[in-house]
Amino acid sequence: MKVKVIPVLEDNYMYLVIDEHTREAVAVDVAVPKRLLEIAGREGVSLTTVLTTHHHWDHARGNAELVRLQPGLAVMGADERICALTRRLVHGEELRFGAIHVRCLLTPGHTSGHMSYFLWEDECPDPPALFSGDSLSVAGCGWRLEGTAQQMYQSLAETLSNLPPQTKVFCGHEHTLSNLEFAQKVEPCNDHVRAKLSWAQKRDEDDVPTVPSTLGEELLYNPFLRVVEEPVRKFTGQVAPAQVLEALCKERASFQHTSEPLQPQARALLALQWGLLSVPQQK
């Protein structure tokens, strides 16, 4: 199983997952379809399926054009709001593409219909892969826009954290540096945070992606996976895991607003990308 990491838009990632024996390929979160097809052509693969983590514009905007350019393509996801959806998936459903197995994991929180995808090959020494969209990122997680803090806690602590620690995490955005800066505020004495932040700063200087991480690493420095740890509880002033998570989300919002305040135009653009606003039709 080969994974092509494809940076798109301002800070998004889309992915091309290739079965190296059959040359069948699956795309994850198609935002720029022509670029995806160019890379698929260079790789000499047959693209059969799109897996979409959630319906937001910056993860699903390319589906319709991709289907137009390549008729017959399957577009899969858990949310009916996903553009050009041809098959709705459910939690625990398993798919197969060549030798690649896919387990669909419903991870609500960022959106109510957010699906993460766990991929592996039988009898293969390579570690499995998790395509987590905006449910889990390197040292962070997506904004909780739909659902409850308890649902988001269950998605992170129960559904994802119990996957094998060697699992490679391929997330939806390059937010690693700001995530780690916040993680350092939460746990200033965490040596794993300090080391990862130094590493991420070098990657940022070199303009190189920071994905993938591994799930085992995330458990060491991602505060949103460490809500039962005493330093994280102390930072939030909460004890119950879901309340710790909710307090962390509020603190992060305040932290990012202070460090990088958004202008009104940027806020409107983000709302449009997340599907919270729609463009009025011309009369």
Query: Active-site residues: which are they?
Result: 54, 56, 58-59, 110, 134, 173
> Amino acid letter at 225?
L
Q: Which residue has the tokens 């009916």?
A: 80
Q: Which residue has the tokens 């949103």?
A: 224
Torsion of CA 33, 39, 40, 43, to 10 degrees: 180
| Beta carbons within 8 Å of 176's beta carbon, 6+ residues apart | 137, 138, 139, 140, 200, 203, 204, 210, 211
Task: Name the residue among 39, 104, 50 with its Cα closest to residue 78.
Answer: 104
Distance CA 231, CA 136 (A): 21
Q: Does residue 223 sit in helix, strand or coil?
A: helix
Helix extents (H) in the chain: 33-43, 57-60, 63-69, 149-153, 176-186, 191-205, 215-221, 230-236, 241-259, 264-273
